[in-house]
Amino acid sequence: MFKELDPLLHSELRLAIMSLLISVEEADFVYLKDQTKSTSGNLSVQIDKLNDAGYIEVERGFAGKRTRTVCKITPVGVKAFEAYVESLRSYLNL
């Protein structure tokens, strides 16, 4: 009766990351950290999990002497996010 929820997206922080990335072209680590109010370590782990699943792309580089990590949602990630939202709708009968 109910659609299965993607366990990767069912995590509060991973869902927050995906929700932010779905609405922007890209976002850097500092922006994601500020918006999610997460710790650097936890955010880094969750970004790696989403990257490993192919839901986001992570580009690491430098801006001057500082490291810069930029994340972008992939087409696979968009589909997974949309499917997750659709599954939630089935729970809410919308």
Q: Would 49 be classed as within a structural domain?
A: yes
Q: Would 21 be classed as within a structural domain?
A: yes
Q: What is the pLDDT of residue 66?
A: 87
Segment-wise mean pLDDT, segments of 10 residues, the chain, 94 residues: 88 97 96 97 97 97 89 98 93 77
Q: Would 62 be classed as within a structural domain?
A: yes
CA–CA distance, 56 with 66 (Å, rounded to integer): 22
Q: Would 58 be classed as within a structural domain?
A: yes
Answer whether 84's CB lies under 8 Å from 9's CB: yes
CA distances from 54 to 22, 49, 68 (A): 14, 9, 20
CATH number at residue 53: 1.10.10.10
